[in-house]
Amino acid sequence: MLSLFRKSTQVDKRDKELKLFLRNILGCKPKNISVYKLALTHKSYYSKNSKGFRMNNERLEYLGDTVLSTITGDYLFKRYPYQGEGFLTEMRSKIVSRASLNKLAQKIGLSKHIQYIKDNGQFLSMDGDAFEAIVGAIYLDKGYCFTYNVITKRIFSLYLDVDSLEKTDWNFKSKLIDWGQKTKQKVSYQVINTDETTSRKQYTIQVYIDDVGQESAVDFSIKAAEQLASEKTYKKLVDEKIIIDE
């Protein structure tokens, strides 16, 4: 009986903390708290509803990814009226990358509200996935215009240093290939694993230099995974003084 009381108290406390977090992010009370709870339910923690469907945040993550990409593209188009397509595409890739979304989730305090089971392994993209799912939840709960304002005015403006991100050297794949051409070493990429257990396919890409395996990375697109793997490989080689910046 006492254990049930403690469990109920913990749930009430968690609900209060979640409502406070959402109020701070949204600037108002959410209409449908259940959709936000679902957005914060990792697949390792899922339950099944009465019809046998898995209840986790993967579908909301898919929706949020689409909405976030559209909002980010619109935001950048207006912020940089004289920049070309290539610049805008690269900037959007930087903002919606898994590493960037992981950091945003941690900065806004989203990470501590995610429900997951630690014993089920390491989840490197869990924070960023939950961020996308929350975007999907806001969209369903409040609509596109409200979501746009939350993302651009309450998250990007407060937690994302766009000017610093603009100066960040992102295209490590290009840098690694250029280095390979200069040193006459072959740089190639290979898909070593494809995970189709989630709502969105994830790719594991490994870098090869002269057919010798280097660093690998996981992302939802081959292009993004190649960039992350290139960055890890390039930085590792720089740290080991194999690459010498000219």
Q: How far apart are CA 188 and CA 226, in angstroms?
A: 10
Q: Specify the amino acid at residue 48.
A: K
202-209 sheet: strands from edge to edge: 187-195, 202-209, 212-219
Count of beta carbons in the 10 Å neighbourhood of residue 56? 23
**Options 127, 129, 132, 226, the catalytic residue:** 132
Paired strand residues for 191:
205
Count of beta carbons in the 10 Å neighbourhood of residue 139? 24
Q: How far apart are CA 185 and CA 67, in angstroms?
A: 41
| 65 assigned to active site | yes
**Options 58, 61, 65, 231, the catalytic residue:** 65
Q: How far apart are CA 116 and CA 122, in angstroms?
A: 11
Q: How far apart are CA 83 and CA 89, in angstroms?
A: 10
| 119 assigned to active site | no
Query: Going along 46-201, which residue ranges are E strands?
Result: 47-48, 54-55, 187-195
Report, as residue numbers or ranges, the catalytic residues. Answer: 65, 132
